[in-house]
Structures are given as C-alpha cells and as structure tokens.
Amino acid sequence: MEQNPPNVVASDEETASATGSEFSPGSGCRTQRLLYEQRYWEERARLLLELEQLRQGTHPEYLKVEKRLQDELDDRLQQNEIERDRALAAIERDCLMEHAASEVEYEEKVAELVANAIAALEHERQAIEHEYATMEVGGCADGGGAMTQTARWKLRSRVNETATPEQHKKPMVRQLKFLLEEDEIVDDLGVILANTPDDGERGTNEDGK
C-alpha cells in the first residue's frame, strides 16, 4: 500500500485550511471591510485632489463653468453695447428732429410777430389817415370860407388905404398845408385870380363910383 509523503500531506492540509478560511463568514466580512476602506481612501484622495484643484482654479468642471459664464458675460456685454449704440442713435436722431422743429417753430413765431407788428402799424396808419381825412374835410368846409372872405376883403381894399398889421397877416402856411391838398390850393388860387379885377377894371369901377 502506497503512502503519501509527509510534505504532500502537510501541503494538502494547508490548502484545505486556506480554502476553508476564505469561505468562512468571518473572512467575508473582513474582505468587505477592506474593500470599503480602500474605496473610502480612494474617494477621500479624489475629493482632496478636487478641492486642491478648486483652490488653484484648475478644476475641469470649474473651468468649464467659468468659461460658460465668461461667454454669457461677453454676449451680454456685446448686447448691452448694441443696445447702448442704438439708444444713443435714437436719442441723437430725436435731438436733431427736436432742434429742427424748434428752428421751424422759431421762424414761424418770428414771422407771426412781424406780421402782427405790420398789421398793427397798418391799422394805426389807416386810423391816422382816416383821422387826417376827417380833419381835412372839416378844414375844407371852414378854411374855404375863410379864404373866400380874405379874398373878398383884399378885393375891397384900396390902394391908398393903410393896412393894419392884422390885414397884412397871411394865412399860416402850415394851416393851409394841413387843411388843403396842393391841387386844392391851386384850384382855389385860380378861382381867386379869376375873380380879382386888373388895374384897368379897378380904375373904371372907381370912376364909376
């Protein structure tokens, strides 16, 4: 009968012992705990690395978010510049339109004031002319008789008669100019000269008396 060598028997016993210990309940819990510990340390190391990257500003997610925010900021700033330029252009356009409207309104006001001033002066001129014409008509009614009486008085005067200062008084030229027009004065003088006898007729009249 064949017997196993002592070493072979011992090796088989160790293998059986190791196999039995691996599949025992206590060995499974220890292995799971070791796995948990290993996972914990790995996770801890990862978190510490990410924390350090965040502190240094080199974390990939941080850089990605920062780039997205920077792009949004650039877009917003560009949009704000566009809106600002558009608002400035609109304000400048409104300012130019308001300035042009103000100039037109100013010109209209000036023209209106000039027209009102001209109308007022024209009305005043017409009133003065009407008053002058009224005074002229009244002056012709009175002044014509005065001139006729003066002419008759001159016709009745004698050569050797001494004239008083009142008789030598002539009608005021200013009054004649004020009361009569130039053509009316010429007409009156023509009537006076037509009614005035010459020297021969005057002598005949005196001899006849």
**85 part of a folded domain:** yes
The pLDDT score that the predictor gives to residue 105 is 95
Domain range for 181 is 40-158+166-199
Taking residues 140-167, what's their average pLDDT? 48
**15 part of a folded domain:** no
**4 part of a folded domain:** no
Report how far residue 54's alpha carbon sits from residue 38's, in angstroms, rounded to the nearest whole number: 24
pTM above 0.75, yes or no: no
**175 part of a folded domain:** yes
The pLDDT score that the predictor gives to residue 117 is 94
Q: What does pLDDT average to over the chain?
A: 74
Radius of gyration of the chain (CA): 68
**172 part of a folded domain:** yes
Residue ranges of E strands in 60-179 = none
- Binned at pLDDT 50, 70 and 90, residue 81 comes out as very high
Residue 23 phi, psi dihedral angles, 5° rounding: -95, 10
Q: Which tens digit of pLDDT belongs to each residue from 115-134? A: 999 999 999 999 999 888 88
How far is C-alpha 13 from the geometric centre of its chain's CA atoms? Answer: 111
Nearest of 189, 191, 207, 187 to residue 199 by alpha carbon = 207
More confident residue, 26 or 43: 43
- How many domains, the chain? 1
The pLDDT score that the predictor gives to residue 44 is 93
